Amino acid sequence: MDEKGNKSKNENGQEKTTLRITGMTCAACSGAVERSLRKLEGVDFAAVNLATETALVVHGKDVTWEDLQKAVEKVGYGVSDELPEEIDRVRYLNSRRNLVLALAVTVPLMVLMLFHMAGYHLPWFPALELAAAGFVVFYVGRGSIKGAWIAVTHFHTNMDTLISVGAASAWATTLLHVLGVPIASFGSIGAMIVALHISGRFIESSLRDKAAKEIKNLLKLRAVEARAVIDGKEIRVPIEAVVKGMTIKVGPGDRVPVDGEVLSGRSSVDESMITGEPIPVLKEKGASVTGGSSNLTGEMLMTVTRTGEDTFLSKMVSLVQEAQGSKIPIQALADAVTRVFVPVVTALAVTAGVLWYFFFDRFYPLVSSAKAYLPWVLVTESRLSFAVFVFVATMVIACPCALGLATPMALVAGTGLATKRGLLIRNAEAIQTTKDIGVVLMDKTGTMTEGNPSVTFHNLSPEDLAAAAAIEKNSGHPLAKAITASAGEDLPVVEDMEEIAGKGVSGVVNGTRYEVGKPASYDAYSGYLEAGKTVVEVDREGVSAGFFAIEDRIRDDSPAAVEGMKALGLLPVMVTGDNEVTARAVARQVGITEVLSGVRPEDKLDIVRTYQAQGKKVLMIGDGINDAAALKGADIGMAIGSGMDLAIDSADIVVMSGGITKALESIKISERTFKVITRNLFWAFLYNIIAIPVAMAGLLHPAIAETAMAFSSISVVLNSLTIRKGEI
């Protein structure tokens, strides 16, 4: 974790920085920041998320944090290096104070205004209205005025522009009225606009924080200190001082501070916030532990293996923030609209006001006839009063916030739900694509099986067994660990080792060359293969020395997952490098009928392309090592792994715990999230298409307009929160 934002690198060596942006109030603000960042030389990509108030920037090594800060400040906004929790706390306290002040002044003012309108004329009311409304508009609402001023002085407009101009225009009518100009006084309406706006933003902010609960919970898992054991003494040190190789003590009830390996002790550890699995995991000597998990029962000593931004939790937080900050294709239309929204609405408001001023006598009788049905329609003989009334209503009814929040709020809720379910969505576009999947390609070992194979039989001599185990110890293949574990710890030295993907490994041990891999012929092993076991043959100087029979248990959820895929109309296909007999034996157990066996890693991508050529969207599920090319080439790549072995660089979605059932969950989350996004955008567009013409026609009171505008933003957030409800 960099002291000034989150930093990481992608597979191309580019740096990715996450910034906390301050001062944004609407989609127009986030759009201005995003455009400024993208114009910076050396920046390849930038996405600003209004919902989480963050910016994700992909850039070259020459671009510094200070360069990014200047680009943000260039358009009037700020970058904070404070902790998100502290920023949120200060923002909450300020907004609560402003809300109390606004309501304390506006509510009595509105009561007096109603008395005044009912005929109980108070001679001192205009002066009181001028002072009280001025206090609310220019002091309590100074944040909006500041935001509008920043936007105007940096040659763009935002939501604050609409609110500030509308409220100030309403207050100005009171000033003119006090000065003797024959115009209706709308000062109280100006105060009401600001009060309603602040109320709406307070509610919206609270709901947005609730929608982002999962990422906030992840941030809370980060430890601030650790109990280091140095020279036999226990010392509490800041987490920043913890280094790789240090010995840390973790007691019952403690949070594991960083990633490490257990040196001694035995305990149950709760990893639910990281993996989504509620059952505690037993940890003892040699087991890996993940920072952020909770130690439940015993005391453990652990050695630190990863710190800072290299820890699993830091990477996980970074990836979730990256996914929440990225954009999906459906958002393009909303972005295009919000870029021109405020200038267009301002022009419409001015046009409506001017037209009403000049054509008041012709059109007002039509509007006044609606008074019986719409009691808030202004009754006046002053063309100037009605023109201002229409101008203010049109300014405050418009709502680019609903459009700007429609997609990012749903993404925040969707990716948060996925994280809670043990799914890490790296690429937000997967939210839109996963629902359209037609074919699911699945590797066998470590995907449909548990990925913990064990040797059930071998006929090797002790010398050949030790040689084979020594060679396999240096291999990254899933079966290698099982072969290595079948021998003792005292293994010979291997020279001239070579590994050929899809075939096996070879090496020289004590002057003798061994080859460990696929048999040239499976004829002699039919009994093992039909039982679903994998056979690995060992050759010594080109002559067979024996073989291993290896079994990898099928995951408990695999048969149900395959059945679920079929129920959704998907075609499940097994793609494995194992032999056909073993592959079909496993396929029968899980319910798969289409099997492609004996496939080399480089051929899996061709299989993906074949299905894509048939017009089908392909989801590839693998362990992310031999399947890397296929994971990249598929429409959606899903890597199944655990801990720091996650194949995050190749996959769009990473399964932190569990099996192929997670593919079904990801599809359902995608469908639910995309449905909410389209619903959000539909209602946001419909609201503005209907509301703006009604306001221009003089049929909408500014107070009702502001209430409707606030409700439109709140409804988008509330609708997004429904993603997290119900079963997956």
Burial of 59 by CB count in 10 Å (0-12 exposed, 13-18 middle, 19+ buried)? buried
Q: Which of 254, 443, 552, 578 is catalytic?
A: 443
Mean pLDDT in residue range 339-365? 91
The SS3 call for residue 724 is helix
- Determine the pLDDT at residue 619: 93
- Determine the pLDDT at residue 51: 72
Structure tokens at 19: 């910034």
Q: Residue 569, by phi and psi: left (phi above 0), alpha (psi -120 to 50) or beta?
A: left
pLDDT digits (tens, 9 = 90+) for 142-165: 988 988 888 888 887 777 888 888
Which one is predicted more confidently, 607 or 18?
607
Strands 636-640 and 653-655, how do they pair?
Answer: parallel
Count CB neighbours of 233 within 10 A.
7
Output the furthest CA–CA distance in the chain (Å, rounded).
112
- Determine the pLDDT at residue 502: 65
Rounded Cα gap, residues 257 and 260, in angstroms: 9
Domains delineated in the chain: 1-218+314-404+670-728 (no CATH), 423-449+554-657 (3.40.50.1000), 454-551 (3.40.1110.10)
Mean pLDDT in residue range 611-629? 84
- Determine the pLDDT at residue 117: 64
| Phi, psi angle pair for 242, to nearest 5° | -75, 130
Which one is predicted more confidently, 472 or 403?
472
Structure tokens at 167: 């409220």
Nearest-CA neighbor of 411 among 84, 721, 710? 721
- Determine the pLDDT at residue 278: 67
Nearest-CA neighbor of 583 among 533, 621, 521? 533
Count CB neighbours of 430 within 10 A.
27
Strand 494-500's sheet: what is its strand order? Answer: 454-458, 543-551, 534-540, 512-517, 504-509, 494-500
| Phi, psi angle pair for 464, to nearest 5° | -70, -35
pLDDT digits (tens, 9 = 90+) for 661-689: 888 888 899 899 999 999 998 988 888 88
- Looking up tokens 């079909």, which residue turns up? 584
Mean pLDDT in residue range 691-714? 85
Mean pLDDT, rounded, of the chain: 85
Structure tokens at 67: 């360069």
Rounded Cα gap, residues 211 and 409, in angstroms: 7
pLDDT digits (tens, 9 = 90+) for 32-66: 899 999 999 999 888 887 777 888 888 888 899 89
Helix (H) or strand (E) segment spanning residue 549: strand 543-551
353, 391 in Cβ contact below 8 A?
yes
Count CB neighbours of 434 within 10 A.
25
Structure tokens at 607: 């299989």
Q: How far is CA 423 from CA 407, 634, 638, 646, 661, in A?
A: 20, 18, 10, 12, 11
1 pLDDT higher than 50: no
| Phi, psi angle pair for 240, to nearest 5° | -65, -20
Assess whether 490 carries a catalytic annotation.
no
pTM greater than 0.85: no
pLDDT digits (tens, 9 = 90+) for 115-134: 776 667 778 888 999 999 99
544 pLDDT higher than 90: yes
